[in-house]
Amino acid sequence: TRDQADYFVGGRAMGLFTVALSAVSSGRSSWLVLGLSGVAWKMGTGAIWAIVGYITVEAIQFVTIGRRLRRETQKQGAITLLDYFEARFDDSSHVIRLVGAAIIGIFITAYVAAQFNAGAKTLSIALEIPLWAALVAAGALILVYMVLGGFVAVAYNDVIRALIMLVGLVLLPVVALVELGGWETVNSLLAEVAPQHLDPVALGLGGMIGFIGIGLGCPGQPHIVVRYMSIDDEGHLWYSAVIGTFWNVVLGLGAIAIGLIGRAIVPELGDLPDKDEEMIYLVLSAKYFGPVLYGLLVGGVFAAILSTADSQLLVVASTVVRDVWEQVIHQGQPLDESRKLALSRIVVVLSGLVAMVLAFVAKDLVFWLVLFAWGGLGAALGPSLILSLYWRGTSRAGVVAGMVTGTVIAIVWKLWL
């Protein structure tokens, strides 16, 4: 890592395959492996609607928002999303940058806390160690290579972790199905213990729309859209879209299959560790594999956690160092690159420690805590990004109003509605 452009957007030299898998894996997190499989255990085939929205939107986003954002940020020399907003609206007052930085700090910290919570939960059960020790171990692993590598380390490790996630979410349901004798056996067992699980529309129109609506948050995720900014050629995003969509479909269906198979085998919540449906992935892994392969599948959970947590910590670092410290406090004056990189690494460590503390007090299931952060970022940043790229009439005041309104609605909805 030589300078900030390398650290935050990989020098805009990342290949199409790396960008595709990095964008997909950084967006899925433990929400997919633990959260979605748990929702499928609880709600059945209706969980399919939870993947329809984001798969569709991200496929389109690669070649629409992604291409335009890559082009515009290249022209501006922008290396963060807030760089882009400030240049787009010639905001010398830095209002957009400061409001956006506060929003990103709030929701990304909650997002990372959810990842650490999932990591601690997984390690604690898999290795039978105290929750605090599991949390420290997971956090330390993320922070060490984040401090050492920056965006390039994150992007290439995302590719490796995407492959590990693929193994876990494909191998586990396949082996379980072979042992059970196929889907007919699963269907028969589900018909006995939870017949409503076989009906994908049993959760009702409201539930279906709500799950599909998850996709609306995609454009507002800074840890995903920064991937588009990092590609070596905007034209390559067409190929990234195909690769990323295929990966999204396979991973999503794998997680749902695990939940359905798990409900057929373990129909009672009381039979799961801590009466937590999000542990079904680990329960099936322990049931069908020996210690070595079980360790690999636990690694699949951590692959999902790491792929998102490290990306989000990088976003926090870029927000504090680039958007606040350099552009606002020092008014964009050239600063020593080594000092900026050192400060970025300090911010990563401090942000990670704050997220670890929050992870201890988080009470929500991973699925719903992630959706809170996802929805908050989507509501606050997504509409402003889309309008700024496609409508010349978008104004600075409109962007600020949209950011604030989206944030307030997300928080009020979570706490009081």
Tell me the Ramachandran region of residue 242: left when phi exceeds 0, alpha when psi lies from -120 to 50, beta otherwise: alpha
Confidence of residue 197 (pLDDT cuts 50, 70, 90): very high
pLDDT at 194 exceeding the cut of 80: yes
Confidence of residue 312 (pLDDT cuts 50, 70, 90): confident
The pLDDT tens digits of the residues spanning 218-262 come to 999 988 998 999 888 999 999 999 999 999 999 999 999 999 999
Mean pLDDT to the nearest integer, 79-83: 88
What CATH number does the domain located at 4-416 have?
A: 1.20.1730.10
Tokens 């606050």 locate to: 380
312 and 223 Cβ atoms separated by less than 8 Å: yes
194 and 263 Cβ atoms separated by less than 8 Å: yes
Top-confidence residue, 1 or 190: 190
Per-residue model confidence (pLDDT) at position 259: 97
The residue ranges of every structural domain in the chain are: 4-416
pTM as predicted: 0.89
pLDDT at 11 exceeding the cut of 70: no
In angstroms, the CA 417 to CA 415 distance is 6
Top-confidence residue, 311 or 266: 266
Per-residue model confidence (pLDDT) at position 414: 85
262 and 268 Cβ atoms separated by less than 8 Å: no
DSSP 8-state secondary structure symbol assigned to residue 182: S
The pLDDT tens digits of the residues spanning 23-66 come to 888 788 788 889 999 999 999 999 999 999 999 999 999 999 99
**Tokens (6 digits) for 51:** 């993947």
pLDDT at 2 exceeding the cut of 60: no
> What SS3 class is residue 276?
coil
Q: Which residues contact 271 (CB under 8 A, 6 or more apart)?
A: none
In angstroms, the CA 160 to CA 309 distance is 15
- The fraction of the chain above a pLDDT of 90, given in percent, is 50
Confidence of residue 7 (pLDDT cuts 50, 70, 90): low
In angstroms, the CA 72 to CA 397 distance is 21
- Rounded to whole angstroms, the maximal C-alpha distance in the chain is 68
Per-residue model confidence (pLDDT) at position 155: 59
The pLDDT tens digits of the residues spanning 363-402 come to 667 888 889 999 999 999 999 999 999 999 999 999 999 9
Per-residue model confidence (pLDDT) at position 363: 62
The pLDDT tens digits of the residues spanning 148-165 come to 665 555 556 667 777 777
- DSSP assignment of 18-85: HHHHHHHHHHHHHIIIIIIHHHHHHHGGGGGHHHHHHHHHHHHHHHTHHHHHHHHHHHHT--SHHHHH
Of the ranges 32-46, 78-92, 131-145, which one carries the lowest mean pLDDT score?
131-145
- Closest C-alpha to 283, from 247, 252, 259: 259
Confidence of residue 21 (pLDDT cuts 50, 70, 90): confident
In angstroms, the CA 251 to CA 168 distance is 9
φ/ψ of residue 231, rounded to 5: -70, 150
Confidence of residue 301 (pLDDT cuts 50, 70, 90): confident
- Closest C-alpha to 146, from 295, 351, 327: 351
pLDDT at 1 exceeding the cut of 60: no
Average pLDDT, the chain: 87
